[in-house]
Chains A and B, each alone.
Chain A
Amino acid sequence: MSKHFERIALVGSPNSGKSSLFNRLTGLRQKVANYPGVTVEKRAGTCHLPSGRQVEILDLPGTYSLTPRSPDEALVRDVLEGRSGAAAHADRVVAVVDATRLDRQLYLALQILRTRRPAMLVLNLMDEAQAQGIEIDVPALELLLGVPVLAVSAKTGMGVDRLRQTIDGANGNGLAAGTSNGNGNGAGNGNGHAVLPETWTELDPARGYKEVESIVRQVVRRRPTEKAVRGRLDAVLTHKILGPLLFVILMATVFQSIYAWATPAMDLLDAGVRALGGLGRATIPAGPIQSLLVDGILAGVGTVASFIPQLAILFFFIAVMEDTGYMARAAFLMDRVMGSVGLPGRAFLPLLSSFACAIPGIMATRTLPSRNDRLATILIAPLMSCSARLPVYALLIGAFIPDRHFGILSLRGLTLLSMYFLGIVAALGVAWVARRTVLRGPRTAHVLEMPPYRVPSARSVFLAIRERCLLFLGQAGSVILAVSIVLWFLASYPGGHPETKALESRAAAAAAAGHRADAAKLRTEASGSALRHSFAGEMGHLIEPAIAPLGFDWKLGVGLLSSIAAREVMVSTMATMNNLDGSADPSESLRQALPRAVNPKTGLPLYTPLVAISLMVFFALALQCMSTVAVAKRETNSWRWPIGMLVMMNVMAWVASLAVYQGGRMLGWG
């Protein structure tokens, strides 16, 4: 559909307010996708012009120059040069610069104008420039550059209507609106730039900046003076002691909020899904259709929806940190620490978020400008012990680890802590190895801008949150839903096993006779029997030879299969498998039942503390969560990375559990 519209690309440095301008022009009519074949995000939207015409606005990635340092920047160059193989094209270009910092940002504008594309220049953040006493002679600048120049503030909306008019007028009738000097060649005809003799590749940086200096001398009236607020804020936020301290407090707040504050919203969503399920059971006749709708589709929708509160909260913090300029300071503080494992300072936040959940963590890696840094961070994010592993750890620790204390240290607490450490150590190792193998290559030089502090706009923050949540729902959500339905099918079919049927009819008989407790117990046994004789149960038997060396029986195998939906599902599945009511508080009854389970062949305990530790190690290192796989696929725009992660993490988990179980048995702990 967008093919019918003329396409206009916004190009500018990071922190030029380019995205705010994009938000102003397109509002809610924007969409994010990937460019075909590259891991670069494509943000596009439609904009209505005063004449009623619509154009498509393309928000190209921020770049400091047209000489590419990353796939994002290469894409900008390709679009501007109109390369035939480029993933996108643009009919016209709007160069966006920060009016308060023309001394540097005009350099990119000069490069853009030299690509000979029909172009115009937007002096953004004009309200800030005026507040700082910077006066810019716009007509003189138009004359010097030979293109329309517009003074705009995306934040206040100043000049945005005129920008729309200029975009509108510059096409169609062939006149370049906005150039009142008669030199109106700007947008319609790119070959008339009087002062731009050579192409951008021929522009030497030294000469380019001379030209910038000369232009600034001619059109800017008062030199910008650095605002004192920046100095004062930076003195605190990047202070040797206060800086890291405030950083830790802020990160603790972010972590606490996704870990705990998202819970009420998630509980509410869960209650809503349950209520809908109850409604479904009451209105749809019992049978395969009801089961598919309630236990398959609705449960899958519930899984997908449960991520939204965490995502929204994390992206609220990220948007605020980015828009205020704090993110650059945090990266400045953390760069040395993260650098010891070959990651940039900015990787800290995605990894911290991953302790709550790898989904928002992986989605947060897009704040990393370099592809290799980003892939390395995505690779290790699932090794951070996420909150979904906690119910499994809690069950196993409660059931098998004695409640002993060494002074103030409890053995149970130490066991939990060591699971977190195991994940971190494995992550550091994987990052270290990846940096020297698959993600080798020239280390991207880190010259990062530390932008001025700015008050974030509610509009930008809202749009950023909305964008991330919609992306997750649209692309990862569909995969998660599909896998949920497959898992439901495996757990529900083929069904009709004689043992299950017998239990069901006995339950019905007990209910008819008024023995309610017996009926409930028999129904629970029937669901256990149904699961044990389902395809999932058969698959448990099928994989048993592979997991037996780790100390796991086929029932744990079924639990592992079910944890593909979400790791914590393991707990309720194990309850059902062991004829316990999985709906109320499965953990409590399981905690007592698991240590009592007996191996029917040997008569010895089925699960020992060693099996529990082996299983926890497996959970700490394995990539079971299909939501993570779906998000990694979406964020890397290929199946290569998620499949690589699946293989690597699960092999690592298998080997580690094998070492724990077999090593423990050799030491006589089994």
Chain B
Amino acid sequence: MRSLDRIVPGSRAVVHGIEAEDSFTRSLLELGLVPGTEIEVIRRAPLGDPIELVVRGSHFSIRRQEARRILVKAL
């Protein structure tokens, strides 16, 4: 188990859960990052932040600060 920002670009992972409950947690869940969802980290921006990932066929850009709260299992 590790946080999403530790996933090497180009590899896949499965969402385990989201740390620290707040209003943002629900937005992450509603974007489709519910437990069990397979995601792929595509790349990092030139300065290392943010990160591009694919969730359910849609690409999203997420900052490392927020990615840190998403716990995943590397595949």
Contacts and interface: CB of A to CB of B under 8 A. Distances in A.
Nearest to A13: B58
A305 interface: no
Contact of A205 (B34, B45, B46): B34
A616 B2 CA distance: 55
A101 B57 contact: yes
B61 to A, nearest CB: 5
Contact of A107 (B24, B30, B42, B57): B30
A448 B24 contact: no
Given A103-B56, A209-B37, A224-B57, A238 B32 contact: no
A447 B66 CA distance: 9
Contacts of B45: 238, 332-333, 335-336
Interface in B39-57: 42-43, 45-50, 52, 54-57
A67 B30 contact: yes
Given A445-B24, A446-B50, A335 B63 contact: yes
A466 B43 CA distance: 37
Contacts of B57: 100-101, 103-104, 224, 226
B71 to A, nearest CB: 15
A449 B29 contact: no
Interface residues of A, number: 40
A64 B27 contact: yes
Given A104-B56, A447-B61, A449-B59, A244 B46 contact: yes
A239 B44 CA distance: 9
B31 interface: yes
A205 B37 CA distance: 12
A206 interface: yes
B62 A238 contact: no
B62 to A, nearest CB: 5
A395 B21 CA distance: 59
Nearest to B54: A226
A334 to B, nearest CB: 9
Contacts of A104: 31-32, 55-58
Interface in A310-333: 328, 331-333
A337 interface: yes
A610 B69 CA distance: 55
A104 B39 CA distance: 13
B58 A333 contact: no
Contacts of A328: 61
Interface string B5-25: 000000000000000000110
A510 to B, nearest CB: 70
Interface string A432-458: 000000000010011111111000000
Contacts of B46: 238-241, 243-244, 333
A104 B56 CA distance: 6
B58 A335 contact: no
A124 to B, nearest CB: 15
A69 interface: yes
Contacts of B63: 335, 339, 445-446
A339 B62 CA distance: 13
Contacts of A290: none
B43 A206 contact: no
A446 B41 CA distance: 16
Contacts of A333: 45-46
B60 A450 contact: yes
B32 A335 contact: no
A650 interface: no
A65 interface: yes
Interface centre among A101, A234, A331, A447 (most CB of B within 10 A): A447
A233 to B, nearest CB: 12
CB-CB nearest 7 A-B residue pairs? A205-B29, A65-B30, A336-B47, A450-B59, A103-B56, A104-B56, A206-B34
7 contacts: A69-B23, A100-B57, A234-B43, A234-B52, A238-B43, A445-B27, A447-B31
Interface of A: 64-65, 67, 69, 100-101, 103-105, 107, 205-206, 208-209, 224, 226, 234, 238-241, 243-244, 328, 331-333, 335-337, 339, 442, 445-452
Given A209-B34, A447-B31, 12 more contacts: A65-B31, A206-B35, A226-B54, A238-B52, A243-B46, A328-B61, A332-B45, A445-B66, A446-B66, A447-B61, A449-B59, A450-B60
Interface of B: 23-24, 26-32, 34-35, 37, 42-43, 45-50, 52, 54-63, 66
